[in-house]
Homo-oligomer: A and B are copies of this chain.
Amino acid sequence: MRMRLAIVGGGVIGLTVAWRAADAGHHVTVHDPDPGRGSSWVAGGMLAPVTEGRPGEEAAQDLGSLSLERWPDFATELSAAAGRPAGLRTQGTLVVGLDPGDRSELDHLVQWLTARGRQVATLHADALRDAEPGLAPGIRRGLSVPGDLAVDNRALLGALQAAGERAGVVHVAAPVADPAALTALDADQIVLAAGARVADVLPGLPVRPVKGEIVRLHHRPGALPPPTHTVRALAHGRHVYLVPRDDGLVVGATQWETGHETTVTVGGVRDLLDDATAVLPGLAEFEFAEVIAGSRPMTPDGLPLIGRVDARTVLATGHGRNGILLAPITADAVLAELAGEPLPALAAAAPGRFA
């Protein structure tokens, strides 16, 4: 049955649902004053349920792994539909620690991941250097996690917009920023994909903003080549990740519980640059190309809110650090819900679980 579907929010979740729904034959409008921007534009683009995982967040890891399984086909279909690359990189992830405390923490992570059946290998000296020659000389041990991938978030957003347009998605620039605007939407079904702002539209939803800053570095002539793998590091207890792009890399990410503000701080940029150049010293010669902050939509348990909340409204929000990773499975779940066939795998993300 062809329905009129209004999607509130044009980030990676909203655009993925929009493309899939339009492709399935629905009449789709996306309501966002600035689609393809917001926190999806800021993101690092890691598809990394293994290395993002931590004890106590098993359900989030399992959901991430389910979505990652869908990613290669998703990227292939999207590229074909958009007529441009989806930006997927398949080189895998390395994880390193700078000091003995960091390495001890990684050892515990390996034990937990191995017990959960995840593919993790420890690399020493030469093997580590062969994988990523630019690592600081003092880093003599690391983890290889070949299954954790990455995607160029801006290429992805561009491809999603192109594929959506080809499938007939209509963009509406007027914001849907409060409950009255939501009620006024002329649609058979509504998908709420408003990220960290979703509680403005549906008050009481347990989604809060967690600011993250990222720095984008460009390669310069004469500088060492950028890394080919995603490199995650613990730097004296602080997490940093370095995600390759065609023209350099993205370095992230700070986490600040400072409400709806996306000011870039001196301390945040300082820490990112200190940690990144401690891991890959050659980055000091790269261009400091951009710094930007966004708001992750976080829930109390680190799992998103995906599912129906009333006869006309389906939630697809609260993806925290993992909106891009979870976009394929979220879109599958929303389309299944709209077709009246909810996905059992998504039970852990049911919107009513905090009630």
The segment from A49-57, A119-127, A185-193, A285-293 that touches chain B is A285-293
Stretch of A79-87, A201-209, A264-272, A305-313 at the chain-chain interface? A264-272
**Alpha-carbon distance A266/B273, docked complex (angstroms):** 7
> Which parts of A245-268 form the interface with B (CB within 8 Å)?
263-268
- A267: chain B residues within 8 A (beta carbon): 277, 284-285
Do residues A270 and B277 form an inter-chain contact, with CB atoms below 8 A?
A: yes
- Neighbour of A270 across the interface among B265, B268, B274, CB < 8 A: B274
The reply to whether the CB of A220 lies closer than 8 angstroms to some CB of chain B is yes
Cα-based distance from A267 to B282 in the complex (angstroms) = 9
CB contact list, A285-328 vs B, under 8 A: 285-288, 291
**A217 located at the interface, meaning its Cβ lies under 8 Å from any Cβ of chain B in the complex:** yes
Min distance, Cβ A40 to any Cβ of chain B, angstroms: 22
In the complex, A291→B289 CA distance in Å?
A: 10
How near does chain B come to A341, taking the closest CB pair, in angstroms? 48
Q: Which residues of B contact A283 (CB under 8 A)?
A: 266
Residue contacts A-B, CB under 8 angstroms, 7 given: A217-B266, A264-B287, A264-B288, A266-B277, A266-B288, A270-B270, A274-B274
Residues of chain A having any CB pair with chain B under 8 Å: 217, 220, 263-270, 273-274, 276-277, 283-288, 291
